[in-house]
A and B are shown apart, each in its own frame.
Chain A
């Protein structure tokens, strides 16, 4: 029975369910010290002085560092050119919460007490807390040395822009939208932290990180120490969503503190720390124009994106706009697209990747645009999409956005058809119309989201631009003397179930029992070089590597089995932990015997040699993969209060071949929940002084089970040619596809109720909806 495609329960669960998970804060090495930050309360200010003397005098405090004590250390890795971020604030702070000093003490309580004794004198500066203020004439400069708050941008190409303008000029119709994709906070339930232990034999760092080798490589560069002496371990990691791939100061500070003090040092964020210290997500403003004809064919698109990157930009933030503009075409054949972006520094927490990283923003934009075209032409929103879809026969489809973007596979009409079938589309539309004719009932709306995203990072060169060692991913498959298997992979999971998924792939290729396979990850001492987990790459890149390594080992094992059976290797089959001669199942030898023999030179041909049943490869892929789907959302709006309720949410996904349908569905649910949360609840808000107003989970509204709808799933499968698995990856799909379906449904409902609006911004709060109802004179009954 093939395990690829099977609903296999997870190997990871028994430990996690019994409280045996080992997360960074669970580690308590002997003599461990505790580190806490002194965080700036000012969003933009010169640091006049930092007085650590009172804090140093607190009993139990071993050291207090500010930048003057760390002058020899370089700036943090992954700062873009010319925007180096010091390891602690130097000369000035550029966002509220920026660490100014660090206390190291015997225990956490003492460290927290001592942080209150550090006296920092600030000379406040004018604050640029928003894109509007930061880009205005005479705006305060976040980094004076740059001479601007917008040091970088790309596109559109002048010739493309001119051509697109010409299409607009000749087009029958055009419309515009201004969209805000609001700042969100990834908020994994485990905040960020590390334990660093720098001893005579080298440096070991346990870190809540999505890419341990990547962190190891940067520690090597940062401290100028040899790689063989540095070990990074990502133990169990409680979610990441892109925020745990950023080189935050603590990973380097804890190491330096350990070096100086000769003891392990632990840092663990509180949630209040996390809300301002970990990188935020999204925060793009879009101005988009669409040209179309009477039949709702989209002729051209002009898109200008402004990406808020915060006070100390991370290199990742610079690339988000690239991904957004690359994916501006969505699922549609749009012949002319002029898209460009610029980044904008502000006095806010730095922005970096958050599940989807630039693609949710693109999908949101194009799906709102398609509904706008539907509203303008009177053509049904599904029909508009069918008329504009890239067809399956067009694959591989080179997008008009950039030559690097060639969609691998997908069947957008099939996904939408499947969605329509699941929700009984025509009947549903009729039912909603009938419902809306009754003013005593809540207003209902239906929203579609036909989306595509770029995943499976990536072809050679794609990740190097973000500072990674490569774009490949590593897999090592190694047969043990008893026929069981250890696999070491360079990806590093934080909930995705890699130990299970990769074992399924290997079990099929090797013919070894699933329970005899262990997948190891997250430790640079035991795993060959690796790149890490991000960009929905684990299955399409690493899974492919596991498959190919397993196949290579299998073929080598066949040589030994053939020798033991005195048969031809081409006549052998493998399965159920044994090799047998095709057609003569009684002639078989167990994997155990083959494995044992592989270490016995006297048992095997001399040319094979001992220890041959191992393979290591650095798997590359020729292209990104482009998962897609069709999501549908039905909402009810209380005509009196404006409250929005999601009545139904259906996700049809196409990620190519599915390795484990249970885990794949879980990934969709998780991403969709974050997307619905962005549409209805979450917003990281700053006041004009750069003070974060939503700095705890009281105010930053991460929803619970009681606040989110039941989620339904469907599937379409178009295998990708990018790898032999046919799998595209699915980790970020839900967060890409989900928000537009909700907002489209809300706009649909409000328009049905008589509000002639083009758009409503996320999060769609009851008050926003109420304002629309009121402005358009369609608020119902009481309370006026």
Chain B
């Protein structure tokens, strides 16, 4: 119930956070909302020796229009995404999916940067980022770099953010008139998805992408389904390809076969909803 002891460093800025990471190396973990990390620490499944608290880095909480993109600070809470008017107008898929995450208390603390950096294949926002073709801004000792979402999720809980780096911004395209849908199939309302689908269909004039939740150990696109979608295939045809290239887990909630089936169903439903 009580985490193992650790040293605490509070960072007032990104520079301070990076300095702390440089000093403490792989013994340190960043603490944003804490809703991925603290549950693991309370069960003593994670025991970082140092926590670098970036919760107070004020200038990383924003949602701003920038031409035909929207820039989101990494420390923007999921609740803030849920209530943001800019997102409502320009990236409604992100706003709707934010509402589906966890429960209201979790959304008040969890951050988009935290969720993406954690890189859990069972989380909702990574699939949304994939569907939108997001770009991630990462800062480190050698400066700032941008990474495509397709180069971001590398493996099980492993992302492109290095040990001495920090995700600072998420850039998503404005979706214009693109159709979109977020499908989440779970047991209880507060549960992670058994399978989830984030879909946006620009039909030539906006992004098109299909991201899957809990169909692999890392966040994954439904690449074959996406291709079919771009080529104008029907909802059924697109849905039929949903599970290609996935490695759906089997667990108490569902065997892999059922997950693959659900992926096909949910992608088909998502396409249908997005093309109304």
- A residues sitting closer than 8 Å to B (CB atoms) are 108-109, 112-113, 116, 270, 272, 640-641, 643, 681, 685, 693-694, 696, 698-699, 701, 703-704, 706-707, 765-767, 770, 782-784
Contacts and interface: CB of A to CB of B under 8 A. Distances in A.
Nearest to B194: A766
Interface stretch (B28-36, B81-89, B251-259): B251-259
B248 to A, nearest CB: 13
B152 to A, nearest CB: 26
Interface stretch (B1-9, B18-26, B132-140, B219-227): B1-9
B145 interface: no
A429 to B, nearest CB: 30
Interface stretch (B64-72, B166-174, B200-208, B261-269): B261-269
26 contacts: A113-B4, A113-B5, A272-B43, A640-B265, A641-B262, A681-B187, A685-B252, A699-B252, A701-B188, A704-B190, A706-B188, A706-B189, A707-B187, A707-B189, A765-B187, A765-B253, A766-B194, A782-B235, A782-B236, A782-B264, A782-B268, A782-B269, A783-B239, A783-B265, A784-B261, A784-B264
A767 B2 contact: no
B261 A770 contact: yes
Ordered nearest first, which 9 A-B pairs have the shortest CB separation? Answer: A783-B265, A706-B189, A783-B264, A270-B1, A782-B268, A109-B2, A767-B258, A707-B188, A112-B2
Given A108-B2, A112-B2, A641-B265, A782 B185 contact: no
B1 A112 contact: yes
Contacts of A706: 188-190
A783 B191 CA distance: 23
Interface string B216-244: 00000000000000000001100100000
Given A108-B2, A706-B189, A783 B268 contact: yes
B252 to A, nearest CB: 6
Query: Which residue, B187, B191, B194, has most C-beta atoms of chain A within 10 A?
Result: B187
Interface residue tally on B, bucketed by range: 20 to 34
B252 A116 contact: no
B252 A693 contact: yes
Given A685-B252, A696-B43, A707-B188, 7 more contacts: A703-B188, A706-B188, A707-B187, A765-B253, A766-B258, A782-B264, A783-B262
B50 to A, nearest CB: 18
A693 B252 CA distance: 8
B56 interface: no
Contacts of A701: 187-188, 191
- Most chain B beta carbons < 10 A, residue from A643, A696, A766: A766
Contacts of B255: 767
Contacts of A113: 4-5
Nearest to A707: B188
Contacts of A698: 191
A641 B185 contact: yes
B187 A782 contact: no
A784 B262 CA distance: 9
Contacts of A707: 187-189
A270 B43 CA distance: 10
Chain B contact residues: helix, strand, loop or mixed: loop
B4 A767 contact: no
Given A112-B2, A782-B239, A783-B239, A767 B188 contact: no
Contacts of B188: 681, 701, 703-704, 706-707
Contacts of B5: 113
Nearest to B2: A109
Contact of B258 (A696, A770, A782): A770
Nearest to A767: B258
Nearest to B269: A782
A189 to B, nearest CB: 15
A693 B251 CA distance: 10
A698 B236 CA distance: 34
B273 to A, nearest CB: 13
A694 B265 contact: no
Contacts of B43: 272, 696
B102 to A, nearest CB: 11
A228 B121 CA distance: 61
Contacts of B265: 640-641, 782-783
Contact of A783 (B1, B189, B261): B261
Contacts of B264: 782-784
A519 B212 CA distance: 58
Nearest to B44: A116
A684 to B, nearest CB: 11
Contacts of A770: 258, 261
Contacts of A696: 43
A112 B3 CA distance: 9
Contacts of A641: 185, 262, 265
A703 B4 CA distance: 30
A522 B253 CA distance: 41
Contacts of A272: 1, 43
A699 B187 CA distance: 10
A718 B262 CA distance: 50
A783 B5 CA distance: 49
A765 B185 CA distance: 12
A250 to B, nearest CB: 15
A536 to B, nearest CB: 29
Contacts of B253: 765, 767
A385 B120 CA distance: 52
B189 A694 contact: no
A696 B40 CA distance: 12
Most chain B beta-carbon contacts within 10 A, residue among A641, A765, A783: A783
Contacts of B269: 782
B66 to A, nearest CB: 37
A704 B265 CA distance: 26
A393 B262 CA distance: 54
Contacts of A681: 187-188
Nearest to A696: B43
A415 to B, nearest CB: 32
A83 to B, nearest CB: 31
Contacts of B185: 641, 643, 766
Nearest to B43: A272
Nearest to B185: A641
A393 to B, nearest CB: 46
Contacts of A643: 185
A782 B190 CA distance: 27
Contacts of B252: 685, 693-694, 699
Contacts of B191: 698, 701
Nearest to A700: B252
A704 B105 CA distance: 14
B1 to A, nearest CB: 4
A118 B239 CA distance: 53
Nearest to B258: A767
A701 to B, nearest CB: 6
Nearest to B195: A641
B105 to A, nearest CB: 12
A109 B255 CA distance: 39
Contacts of A704: 188-190
